[in-house]
Amino acid sequence: MTNQLVMYEEELQQINTVCDQLQRDSNAQAVLVIDKNGQPIATAGDVESLDVTSLSSLTAGNVAATGGIASLLAEKEFAGQFHEGEKTNVHISIVGSRVILVVLFDQRSSLGLVRLRVKRASVELTRILDDLVRKSQSASAPSILAEITDDDIENLFND
Amino acid sequence: MSFINYAQREINCKIVYYGPGLCGKTTNLQYIYNKTNPEAKGKMISLATETERTLFFDFLPLSLGEIRGFRTRFHLYTVPGQVFYDASRKLILKGVDGVVFVADSQIERMEANIESFENLRDNLQEQGYSLDKIPYVVQYNKRDLPNAAPTTELEEVCNPKRVVSFEAVATKGVGVFDTLKAVAKLVLTELKRGG
């Protein structure tokens, strides 16, 4: 499973720190980091009222569709998207070709400020993700998968 | 592509329901949604046309319990079955961990089943997967209809590898959870082997 995404405590904390800072520095309502397949990874800010699972899946679908359009137009990818609402605006960008960074913001912020702060956060996130890939590929990384037995799987379905 | 989250102790997997138009992919998800406890499921999302045909995908997040202290979460997706939505189907297959091929048992839909199965194979290949390796099961839906073809005939065209298959009537829930459990089990077994 070379394609598998793995997240450890240490890297998740680092990602959370970057998200928290991005949310504060850009005066955003909320920040989300989502894997390209729609799995939420980290959040910051006011996410209590959000359906993060649904938002993640739809955003990943949106990014995938936009990527499909890009390849039809012989573009590598459209790195960013912006949706303007009456109250809430959404800035979506792809970081390190691996994850999606979503910033929700209102009139207390501006697209220019968000873009500026996203740029800096993206650099940090890319570094953390690179470390994460190296770590998960190294032999010393722990693996829950190796510990799972056939009985464990069987028991999950004995209801 | 599964997502193993050690920080939050979660194993996340993606399962895609594939098959020809109107074979009952969305109906499978709707039944699962209706019969699952609220604490084990998220919101079901359907991106559909005004006539309730799937336009992009349906999405249903499910939690199936814990293994060794890790919560197993499955994201179920359907593809749009209509032939001209092929670009969307390719996108939805990205990162897939397991597939349910839903065949329409009606004899008139035999050609559509064959076409969709071949389309699944081609699209998986395009994403770097292979039906020889990816966990998948087959479901013969609409078994209650009078024009349903014999399952032996369906096996010939939709299940050349003779993987696990189920007879179903998705509108009534027959075979729906059996199919889901079988594919989830295969996905976890494959993960274990790969891990």
- CA of B168 to nearest chain A CA: how many angstroms apart? 19
Measured between CB atoms, does A58 come within 8 Å of chain B?
A: yes
Q: Give the model's pLDDT for residue B194.
A: 79
Would you say the ipTM is above 0.90? no
Q: Give the model's pLDDT for residue A142.
A: 65
- CA of B110 to nearest chain A CA: how many angstroms apart? 30
Distance of CA B9 to the CA centre of its chain: 25
User: Are the C-beta atoms of B186 and B138 separated by less than 8 Å?
Assistant: no
Pick from B166, B162, B194: nearest CA to B180: B166
Distance CA B88, CA B90 (A): 5
Distance CA B102, CA A14 (A): 42
Query: Given an 8 Å threshold on Cβ–Cβ distance, is B72 in contact with A156?
Result: yes
Q: What would the two tokens of residue B191 be?
A: 């993960």
pLDDT over 80 (residue A140): no
pLDDT tens digits for range B9-64:
999 999 999 999 999 999 999 999 999 999 999 999 999 998 999 999 999 999 99
Residue of chain B minimizing CA distance to A66: B91
How large is the average pLDDT for residues A67-82? 92
pLDDT tens digits for range B123-161:
999 999 999 999 999 999 999 999 999 999 999 999 999
Backbone angles phi, psi at A139, to 5 degrees: -65, -25
pLDDT over 60 (residue A2): no
Chain A neighbors of B8, CB-CB under 8 A? 7, 12
Query: Given an 8 Å threshold on Cβ–Cβ distance, is B7 in contact with A8?
Result: yes
pLDDT tens digits for range B150-193:
999 999 999 999 999 999 999 999 999 999 999 999 999 999 88
For chain A, give the percent of residues with pLDDT over 90: 74
Query: Given an 8 Å threshold on Cβ–Cβ distance, is B56 in contact with A51?
Result: no
Residue of chain A minimizing CA distance to B85: A65
Q: Which of A39, A41, A148 sits opposite B192 (nearest CB)?
A: A148
pLDDT tens digits for range B87-129:
999 999 999 999 999 999 999 999 999 999 999 999 999 999 9
Q: Give the model's pLDDT for residue A138.
A: 81
Q: What would the two tokens of residue B46 be?
A: 């359907």
Q: Which of B1, B75, B184 sits opposite A57 (nearest CB)?
A: B75
pLDDT over 80 (residue A96): yes
Alpha-carbon distance values, A25 to A21, A32, A52, B70, B191 (Å):
6, 15, 22, 34, 40
Strand boundaries in B38-164, DSSP class E: 45-48, 54-67, 70-78, 98-104, 136-141
